[in-house]
Amino acid sequence: MTADEIAGHMKTGEFEFLDCRFLDFPGLWQNCTYTASEVDADRLAGGFGFDGSAIRGWQAINESDMLLVPDCDTARRDPFAERATLAVICDVRDPVTKKTYGRDPRAVAKKAQKHLEATGIADTAHFGPELEFFLFDRVRFDQTTNAAWYEVDSAEGVWNRGSDHPGNRGHQIPIRQGYFPCPPVDTMHDLRGEMAATMQSLGIRVECHHHEVATGGQQEIDLRFDALLPMADKCMFYKHVVKRVAANHGRVATFMAKPLLGDNGSGMHTHFSLWKDDEPVFAGRRYAGLSQLGLWAIGGILRHTPSLLAFCAPGTNSYKRLVPGFEAPVSLVYSSRNRSAAIRIPRYDDRPGSKRLEFRCPDPSANPYLAFSAILMAALDGIQNEIDPGDPVDLDLYDLEPERFAAIPRTPATLDEALSALDADRGYLLAGDVFPADLIDGWIAYKRQHEVDALRARPHPHEFEMYFHS
């Protein structure tokens, strides 16, 4: 829509409200809803004022005034609102200078696109993320001075196999055996179908949906690839739809990376390709049908993965997923078929237009605007500096001799390690001012203060088992 079209819909009464949505620093949607009488073309162009100091990781209290400026191209009817509501994603700007706010994730994505075009390497970066998530029937957690605990539950969970509940039919999914079962074992098929249909109604093209590996309700809905900014926008609508449909059916969805002990975590395997003048830059005659530029892009991503993960695996919980033994991509190598490698080159379809990389380390707790932008910047750095990715590893990494396996570089073991890597290896992100230094410094400071140090200071329940009788 255009601003005039939105204003016209508000004036005629087709919509009663305009719901303005934007991201906080870590990547959760925030919103403020305006009545139709307050919406006209001038307000849509000039923006709506709000207090930026109340948003996580943003402005100081003495610089609190900010503007929400709707991106009218993103406007969609809210399928969940009881009153007729038009939802729109907004950019964040300074009310004095009218410039985009440096810590607005959408601003980073827009600058990444401009930087890509300026390099002359390509004009479009396509992203196709596979977001995994869990659907639980119940969740409880708390942290007090003298107690810390959590509990999630799902009728599909193997721990409920012996339940005497009248509804128990014995179809619980064993650990790591939840991939692609049919109903009635897969009890979430129709629920995922409703989610996928709702996404389609919002103009988000869905390719497929299925149950994922873990017991206890792990799911996946795959989207058709798109360019960087619109795909990041779609990821936010995706999460919103999943959470709202789940809530409407008395369930709760989570995109945290590792909610269950001893079973697979949730990843966001990210398919990535570059195009120029509608031609695939990564297609060629080298390994697995890649071009030399595609191999250099792999080299850049692998070299920068430790710092990339500060954005792509952004939580302390993310590194409970990135451990060997659960198809986790902890080895910094590439392969055409090995799913434990950090980068895989899919071979389902070897047509040039399907040639892409799959970066398997990210998880769905990531802010997609920052994660996709960082991946693009690492790939461009690899191409511009002709970074050799080394030889591919097509063997089962877990069957290698211990000495050879130990010699393979690994992903960081903790968020703190990833943040240290980001602090030391940030030059490729600063190119073209895509990631301002202030944003990187703010990200490191926020994550260390509110997540790393917050967890470090808390006794863990398992520590009582290990140390209580010391």
Instruction: For residue 151, indicate whether it is catalytic.
Output: no
Q: Is the peptide bond before 324 cis (omega within 30 degrees of 0)?
A: no
If asked whether residues 74 and 168 sit together in one domain, one would say no
Domain boundary (50, 73, 101) is at 101
Q: How many structural domains is the chain composed of?
A: 2
Q: Which of 19, 91, 186, 212 is catalytic?
A: 212
271 in a known ligand binding site: yes
Assign 204 to helix, strand or coil: coil
140 in a known ligand binding site: no
Q: What is the pLDDT of residue 381?
A: 98
The rounded distance, in Å, linking the Cα atoms of 424 and 436 is: 15
Q: Which of 209, 233, 360, 416 is catalytic?
A: 360
If asked whether residues 17 and 157 sit together in one domain, one would say no
The rounded distance, in Å, linking the Cα atoms of 212 and 330 is: 20
If asked whether residues 245 and 215 sit together in one domain, one would say yes
The rounded distance, in Å, linking the Cα atoms of 376 and 380 is: 6
- Which residue has better confidence, 405 or 310? 310
Instruction: For residue 279, indicate whether it is catalytic.
Output: no
Q: Are 14 and 82 in contact (CB under 8 A)?
A: no
Q: Are 393 and 323 in contact (CB under 8 A)?
A: no
If asked whether residues 361 and 454 sit together in one domain, one would say yes
User: Nearest CA to 51 among 100, 92, 18?
Assistant: 92
Q: Where are the beta strands (DSSP E) in 322-402?
A: 331-335, 341-344, 357-359
Q: Would you tell me how many other CB atoms lie within 10 Å of the CB of residue 347?
A: 12
Q: What is the CATH number of the domain that holds 124?
A: 3.30.590.10
265 in a known ligand binding site: yes
Average pLDDT, the chain: 93
Q: Which of 103, 269, 304, 356 is catalytic?
A: 269
In a domain, 107, yes or no: no
5 in a known ligand binding site: no
Q: Which of 4, 5, 38, 51 is catalytic?
A: 51
Quote the tokens at residue 37.
């009488």
In a domain, 108, yes or no: no
Q: What is the CATH number of the domain that holds 90?
A: 3.10.20.70
DSSP tag of 83: S
Assign 69 to helix, strand or coil: strand
212 in a known ligand binding site: yes
Instruction: For residue 220, indicate whether it is catalytic.
Output: yes
If asked whether residues 78 and 126 sit together in one domain, one would say no
In a domain, 277, yes or no: yes
31 in a known ligand binding site: no
Q: Which of 339, 347, 404, 460 is catalytic?
A: 339
Q: What is the pLDDT of residue 70?
A: 96
Mean pLDDT (whole number) for 407-416: 94
If asked whether residues 340 and 404 sit together in one domain, one would say yes
If asked whether residues 56 and 174 sit together in one domain, one would say no
Confidence of residue 324 (pLDDT cuts 50, 70, 90): confident
Containing structural domain, residue 82 = 3-101
Model confidence pLDDT, tens digit, residues 214-270:
999 999 999 999 999 999 999 999 999 999 999 999 999 999 999 999 999 999 999
Instruction: For residue 463, indicate whether it is catalytic.
Output: no
Diameter of the chain measured on Cα atoms: 72
Q: Which of 91, 156, 186, 220 is catalytic?
A: 220
Quote the tokens at residue 325.
């033994």
Assign 105 to helix, strand or coil: helix
The rounded distance, in Å, linking the Cα atoms of 341 and 338 is: 6
Instruction: For residue 132, indicate whether it is catalytic.
Output: yes
If asked whether residues 432 and 404 sit together in one domain, one would say yes
pLDDT at 61 over 80: no
In a domain, 106, yes or no: no
Q: Which of 132, 186, 263, 416 is catalytic?
A: 132
321 in a known ligand binding site: yes
Q: Tokens 């005039």 sit at which residue?
A: 4
DSSP tag of 18: E
327 in a known ligand binding site: yes
Quote the tokens at residue 341.
């490698």
Could you give phi then psi for residue 396, rounded to 5 degrees? -70, 110
In a domain, 313, yes or no: yes
Domain boundary (79, 101, 123) is at 101
Instruction: For residue 212, indicate whether it is catalytic.
Output: yes
pTM score above 0.85: yes
- Which residue has better confidence, 66 or 79? 79
Mean pLDDT (whole number) for 388-398: 86
If asked whether residues 76 and 162 sit together in one domain, one would say no
Mean pLDDT is lowest, of 107-121, 309-323, 344-358, 423-437, for: 344-358
Model confidence pLDDT, tens digit, residues 140-183:
999 999 999 999 999 999 999 988 888 888 889 999 899 989 99
